[in-house]
């Protein structure tokens, strides 16, 4: 069946799909499989979709949309799983703004119930020139493979207690400061669920090369894939000749997206010039700092996030013997301290 869709989600960007597509009724039931759906209903909250250029568009009843199957485990959003079975006409849900689709099993009241999506079919691609033989579209097509002999460049790791802890804001301030020093910066998102927004934010602040786990063919990161994918993403960025990489880990250090696998990777830790930890409150700061030290031998270099929004939290952090810097109140100070850490690391190499 041929169909012309209204919107193509950013999770499918590796495929560079056109709006007119061929569908099959045979669904490839695995994470990353690309399907077409029809939206049912209207929503006033969490009602947008990010397209392959990073633009956010409002979804409406009747829209024909292309996205990818996957799961999600978001504290402030939807929890969703892969369907046990799937056929044309079945109903699934929109799990995130990047276009990841699955079966919603719980949701945060702030985002409301998810969109209901009627499955129209499996998107087909035709990789062989002039061939009429299509194959099931999957986000791993054209994905980054990693560069084994890429140079090892310093990495600034941005960690946090959970989503919405200020990680992207802190990372952007650090990217800008490093860029202003004349360094060529790479920006990476290593874990989370597919969305271009955060890496585009790093790009807007001076990162010349950006990539994330979806560029490497992953819809939603997990402990089974996070470290391997991180190596692929970071090596691809390093191979482009950057001086420093600012790498954000989506979700928290104790979440379900595989951050722990990255922290446990000795090779990645040896590349770290600076660990920045973002938290929403003093308890989160203390718990996170202690957890990172006890579990991975990691000493946090800078604390940022809402816990440092004023002097109350900053004093608490400083009493722990860790510098507190706030990306909202004084992004320049945060960036300058990160620059010092990177300079010190490079001088030791």
Which residues are bridge partners to 33 per DSSP? Answer: 138
pLDDT at 130: 63
Decide if pLDDT at 163 tops 90: no
Count Cα neighbours of 13 within 13 Å in the Cβ-side half-sphere. 22
The predicted model gives 15-28 an average pLDDT of 96
The predicted model gives 255-273 an average pLDDT of 95
Decide if pLDDT at 188 tops 80: yes
Decide if pLDDT at 320 tops 80: yes
Which residues are bridge partners to 100 per DSSP? Answer: 68
What is the distance between the alpha carbons of residues 116 and 120, in angstroms, rounded to a whole number?
Answer: 13
What is the distance of C-alpha 65 from the center of its chain? 21
What is the distance between the alpha carbons of residues 101 and 158, in angstroms, rounded to a whole number?
Answer: 27
Q: Would you kindly state where each structural domain of the chain is located, as residue ranges?
A: 2-136, 155-348
Q: DSSP string of 48-83?
A: EEEBTTS-EEE--TT-EEEEEE--EE-TTSEEEE--
So what's the architecture of 155-348 in CATH? 3-Layer(aba) Sandwich (3.40)
Residues whose CB falls within 8 Å of the CB of residue 51, separated by 6 or more in sequence, listed in order: 7, 8, 9, 10, 57
Q: What is the pLDDT of residues 35-47, one digit of tens each?
A: 999 999 999 999 9
Q: What is the pLDDT of residues 145-155, one digit of tens each?
A: 999 999 999 99
Q: 258 near 193, Cβ under 8 Å?
A: no
Select the more confidently predicted residue: 75 or 116: 116
Burial of 294 from C-beta contacts in 10 A (0-12 / 13-18 / 19+):
exposed
Which residues are bridge partners to 200 per DSSP? Answer: none
Strands 135-136 and 185-191: unpaired
pLDDT at 84: 93
First to last CA, the chain: 58
Q: What percent of the chain has pLDDT over 90?
A: 91
What is the distance between the alpha carbons of residues 40 and 26, in angstroms, rounded to a whole number?
Answer: 22
**Reported pTM:** 0.94
Decide if pLDDT at 277 tops 70: yes
The predicted model gives 228-232 an average pLDDT of 97
Q: How far is CA 229 from CA 81, 157, 309, in A?
A: 21, 15, 33
pLDDT at 133: 82
Query: What DSSP state is assigned to residue 14?
Result: G
Confidence of residue 67 (pLDDT cuts 50, 70, 90): very high
What average pLDDT is seen over the chain?
95
């Amino acid at each position: 069946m041929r169909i012309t869709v209204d919107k193509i989600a950013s999770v499918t960007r590796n495929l560079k799909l056109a709006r007119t597509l061929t569908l099959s009724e045979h669904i490839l039931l695995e994470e990353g499989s690309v399907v077409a759906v029809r939206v049912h209903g209207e929503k006033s909250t969490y009602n947008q979709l990010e397209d392959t250029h990073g633009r956010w568009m409002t979804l409406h009843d009747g829209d024909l949309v292309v996205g990818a199957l996957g799961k999600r485990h978001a504290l402030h959003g939807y929890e969703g799983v892969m369907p046990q079975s799937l056929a044309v006409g079945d109903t699934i849900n929109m799990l995130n703004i990047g276009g990841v689709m699955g079966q919603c099993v719980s949701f945060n009241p702030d985002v409301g119930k998810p969109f209901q999506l009627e499955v129209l079919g499996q998107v087909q691609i035709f990789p062989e020139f002039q061939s009429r033989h299509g194959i099931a579209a999957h986000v791993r097509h054209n994905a980054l493979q990693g560069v084994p002999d890429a140079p090892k460049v310093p990495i600034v790791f941005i960690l946090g207690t959970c989503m919405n802890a200020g990680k992207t804001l802190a990372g952007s301030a650090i990217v800008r400061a490093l860029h202003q020093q004349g360094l060529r910066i790479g920006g990476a998102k290593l874990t989370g669920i597919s969305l271009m927004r955060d890496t585009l934010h790093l790009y807007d602040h001076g990162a010349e090369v950006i990539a994330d786990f979806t560029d490497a063919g992953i819809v939603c990161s997990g402990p089974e894939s996070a470290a391997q994918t991180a190596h692929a993403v970071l090596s691809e960025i390093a191979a482009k000749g950057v001086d420093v990489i600012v790498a954000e880990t989506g979700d928290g250090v104790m979440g379900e997206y595989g951050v722990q696998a990255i922290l446990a990777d000795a090779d990645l830790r040896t590349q770290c010039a600076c660990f920045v930890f973002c938290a929403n409150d003093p308890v989160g700061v203390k718990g996170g700092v202690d957890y990172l030290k006890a579990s991975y031998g990691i000493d946090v270099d800078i604390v940022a996030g809402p816990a440092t929004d004023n002097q109350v939290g900053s004093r608490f952090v400083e009493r722990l013997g860790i510098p507190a810097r706030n990306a909202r109140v004084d992004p320049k100070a945060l960036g300058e301290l990160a620059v010092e850490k990177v300079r010190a690391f490079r001088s030791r190499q």
